[in-house]
């Protein structure tokens, strides 16, 4: 399961739906989730406290790690993939996010569809100019897509069914 600006909800969802997993459920993702680290020019030490805003710095080791790991995670996705985007944002698809990088790395030879859940979004957002950029990218790759808004409460109520792929209860 991929996500953008819905981390806590996706973490809860994948915990309650063992057929689904996100990057944070992989070994590296689990160990490094919530961690921050940085270096200091001229030093060989690694620091975990008092780092400058390494989360926002595009070239920080922290950001580089998550971008590379996210890209590799998506490159190994297969069949139907579900993504939860924050439909409460004016523009739920950020072309500079790790999610956009994940979309770039989805392989049409093994991914048949990307199901997008707009958490707390409206149906009309699925046709918004912002999401059209995502649909164009997926169409170029030959990956089908589906979009549906769902409330946070609906996502929390969604139960896993062994016969259905991850996220199908939301569609």
Task: Report how many domains make up the chain.
Answer: 1
Q: Which CATH number fits the domain that encloses residue 82?
A: 3.40.50.720
Q: How confident is the model at residue 17 (pLDDT cuts 50, 70, 90)?
A: confident
Q: What percent of the chain has pLDDT over 70?
A: 77
Match 């200091």 to its residue by tokens: 40
- Give the length of the chain: 171
**Which residue segment(s) compose the domain that 46 sits in?**
2-170
Q: How confident is the model at residue 54 (pLDDT cuts 50, 70, 90)?
A: very low
Residue 161 near residue 129 (C-beta atoms within 8 A): no
Highest mean pLDDT among 24-28, 30-34, 56-60, 78-82: 78-82
Task: Summarize the confidence of residues 22-32 as an average pLDDT.
Answer: 74
pLDDT at site 48: 62
Task: Summarize the confidence of residues 107-119 as an average pLDDT.
Answer: 94
Q: Is the pTM of this model over 0.75?
A: yes
Identify the weakest region by mean pLDDT among 49-53, 87-91, 135-139: 49-53
Residue 93 near residue 131 (C-beta atoms within 8 A): yes
The answer, yes or no, to whether residue 32 has pLDDT greater than 90, is no
Q: How confident is the model at residue 55 (pLDDT cuts 50, 70, 90)?
A: very low
Higher pLDDT pick, 94 / 159? 94
Report d(CA 84, CA 116) in Å as an integer: 6
Report d(CA 91, CA 78) in Å as an integer: 26
| pLDDT tens profile 149-164 | 999 988 888 766 555 6
Q: What is the mean pLDDT of the chain?
A: 83
The answer, yes or no, to whether residue 132 has pLDDT greater than 90, is yes
Helices 61-75, 98-105: inter-axial angle, 10-degree rounding: 30
Residue 14, CA distances (Å) to 4, 75, 83, 145, 168 in order? 15, 19, 12, 21, 13
């Amino acid at each position: 399961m991929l996500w953008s600006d819905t981390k806590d909800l996706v973490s809860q969802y994948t915990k309650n739906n063992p057929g689904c997993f996100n990057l944070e459920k992989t070994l590296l993702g689990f160990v490094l989730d919530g961690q921050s680290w940085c270096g200091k020019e001229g030093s060989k030490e690694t620091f975990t406290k008092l780092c400058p805003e390494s989360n926002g710095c595009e070239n920080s080791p922290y950001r580089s790690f998550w971008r590379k790991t996210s890209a590799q995670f998506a490159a190994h996705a297969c069949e139907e993939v579900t993504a939860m985007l924050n439909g409460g944002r004016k523009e739920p698809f950020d072309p500079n996010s790790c999610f956009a990088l994940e979309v770039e790395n989805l392989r049409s030879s093994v991914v048949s569809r990307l199901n997008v859940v707009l958490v707390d979004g409206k149906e009309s957002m699925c046709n918004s100019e912002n999401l059209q950029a995502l649909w164009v990218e997926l169409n170029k790759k030959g990956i089908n897509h589906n979009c549906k808004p769902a409330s946070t409460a609906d996502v929390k109520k969604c139960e896993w069914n062994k016969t259905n792929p991850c996220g199908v209860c939301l569609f």
